Amino acid sequence: MWMTIVMLCGNMYANSCLVVTSKDINDYYATKEECFEVAVGRANFAKATPQIAIAVPMCQEIILGEEI
């Protein structure tokens, strides 16, 4: 499973950034490609907001049911 992540920044300084993700299990994707497609769409949507200077799409693999 893959989870979408978007880092949003109000300006070029790191202290203006925050990381946004979803805890909804329906928002996880079977492939990295599918996840990244959704993450890019969300980042582009965020960039359309004047308060967002930088939006970086990312995906994280979530491994369930396996020992670490």
Q: pLDDT of the chain along its 68 residues, tens only?
A: 999 999 999 999 999 999 999 888 888 999 999 999 999 999 999 999 999 999 999 999 988 787 76
pLDDT attached to residue 68: 67
Q: What are phi and psi of 35, to 5 degrees?
A: -60, -45
- CA dihedral sign, ordered 11, 38, 34, 18: positive
Which string of DSSP letters, residue by residue, matches 42-64? HHHHHHTSTT-SEEEEEEEE---
pTM value is: 0.85
pLDDT attached to residue 35: 96
